[in-house]
Amino acid sequence: MADLVLRGGYLDGETVDLLIQGGQIAAIGPQLEAAGATEIDARGLLLSPPFIESHIHLDTTLTAGEPKWNESGTLFEGIETWAARKKSLSREDVMRRATTLLRWQAAQGVLHVRSHVDTTDPELTAVRALLEVREKMRDLVEVQLVAFPQEGILSFPKGAELLEEALRLGVDVVGGIPHYELTRDMGAQSVAISFQLAEKYSRPVDIHCDETDDPQSRFLEVVAAEAIRTGMGEMVTASHTTAMGSYDDAYAFKLMGFLRRARINFVANPLINITLQGRMDTYPKRRGLTRVKELWQNGLNVSLGYDDVMDPWYSLGTGNMLQPAHMAVHVAQMTGRAEVVACYDMVTTHAARTLGIADRYGLAVGRPADLVLLEAKDKWNAIRRLAPIRMVIRGGRVVAETTASRTTLLGEPIDLSAER
């Protein structure tokens, strides 16, 4: 007898049962005969692998308005505001806020999270706190930490040493922010340092790269060159790359060929970049997003992140990954049938590649029994309706449940699904 059986859920256009045994998926198929110690009626619900947050800042989350609100809405006022808030960081403060967000995420089916953590702090307070949170939350959410030098590797006192110290303490991934270094040369040099540390400590790389509307910000080519030189390819991620949305086509097309050779991953953060970028423009006003659709069409791995939830860069947010997917459909104009589905994949299977966990992720026999049940018949409708997430299963155990929603109009129940 199986531990748990889900009956009659939607998966890839079919209606299936899913058996869980020993924390793993034991069988998937229509009308399976085996009984389960527990049986769950999944009729009308989509079976999905868990959502993956591939770019968030758990150390800055839930600080919006402290010590002041970001009134200009720019990246730079965000960095200034954070520099002020950072002075009052404590272990307890960081742990409390990060744990709160991780619990929100888990309740909404996000079971893998890659979080950047600011290393430009002589005490590395947030680094130490998030390393503790990573261990404490391990049974519910798997967290990867990226050592992120918010104020620069070469432009902040002892920036490189602090970055390395974070890796020694156990941070999983090496970060960078070349476009915020004081000069172009320092930016290129900072990318080289990130890769040297990655090779020295055998860690992946995830760089905040060209998060600006400046068409002259060209550190993505430096990241691609380092990925090719080191052969690190799929272990390398370029986050944001919003300047690519402002490059002229002659340069962007040439670069695309190099990117295909480099095989690096991309993370776009559509909620944040549609609000942060374009702030220096009057009209026409740029969208400030990287070329999500074109990267995807070129066979490159693109995933989507939330980036910020209620912090100096973005005062809104819930952590629900359907929201960045929904925003990407609009901002990247990915409205074709396959394109909408691709945006769903960008917060699930594509993000698994970005995090380097694709070999132990997904709804297949032998994989961990981690899944999400949504009120939708397929991925397209899940995005269209920002579908309610009804159940989250982690390692074969139900960890979160949401009661079915029911709306009435003039006293009569009304069905708002109209799925097609």
- Confirm whether 211 is a catalytic residue: yes
AA identity, residue 305: G
Choice between 307 and 378, CB closer to Zn ion: 307
The Cα–Cα gap between 66 and 252 comes to 39
Four-residue CA torsion sign, 380, 265, 79, 93: positive
Min separation Cβ 388 and Zn ion, Å: 28
Choice between 114 and 390, CB closer to Zn ion: 114
Choice between 53 and 370, CB closer to Zn ion: 53
Choice between 17 and 59, CB closer to Zn ion: 59
* β-pair partners for 57: 116
Min separation Cβ 311 and Zn ion, Å: 10
Peptide bond into 324 cis (omega under 30): no
- State the residues that interact with Zn ion by CB under 5 A: 307
Catalytic residue, candidates 77, 151, 211, 226: 211
Q: Which residue is nearest to Zn ion (CB)?
A: 307
Choice between 307 and 370, CB closer to Zn ion: 307
Would you name the residues annotated as active-site residues? 211
